[in-house]
Chains A and B, each alone.
Chain A
């Protein structure tokens, strides 16, 4: 089975940096995904890590440590539109994803 943990909620100020942690336990690992989901809308793909290290994509970066079962998503230069839920998902065998409960990020002016 798989178990994925991430904080329920985080608050940060516009222009600041926020780091969302995700820990996982899985039998078989074939990549970790981060998705963004605004309330009532579809999740949209942000990043993918399969090897250890940091992947940077503009204001968003994602890090993975497979030995520790740990990932984080870093959001820099926060904007009001970044207020959303951020979902960590692990891919095991095949292309099946298991999602964590999501972290709701509230950006304040």
Chain B
């Protein structure tokens, strides 16, 4: 158990709909990261938040947005869903020392939310 929680575990919805995925980081971790993993594909970085502020952006579609709340939990909103959005969505957290060289500061991953768009 990494200490990172994600809800829901599974989500089945229809094209055109909107869903919200939720993540609670490990106690003490200030950074939250969102990743998408499609079938047979690697982890694609979507976005990072640090202490409530957006810190880094990856290949995140305009239909997707995220935020981090004062209690540090984060939500990923996916709208106008398409079949191709079906994937595993992982949240990870870390203390985040700003990438200080030599400091491991590994990311701890939650169990993921499996999204199926029909």
Which residues on A are within 8 Å of B, measured CB to CB? 30-31, 33, 40-45, 48, 50-51, 87, 89, 91-102
Contact = CB atoms under 8 A, between A and B. Distances in A.
Contacts of B33: 96-97
B28 interface: no
Contact of B94 (A43, A92, A95): A95
Contacts, number: 69
B102 interface: yes
Interface residues of B, number: 32
Nearest to B2: A42
Please classify the interface of chain A as helix (H, G, I), strand (E, B), loop, or mixed, using the class held by over half of its residues: loop
A103 to B, nearest CB: 10
Nearest to B98: A94
Nearest to A33: B106
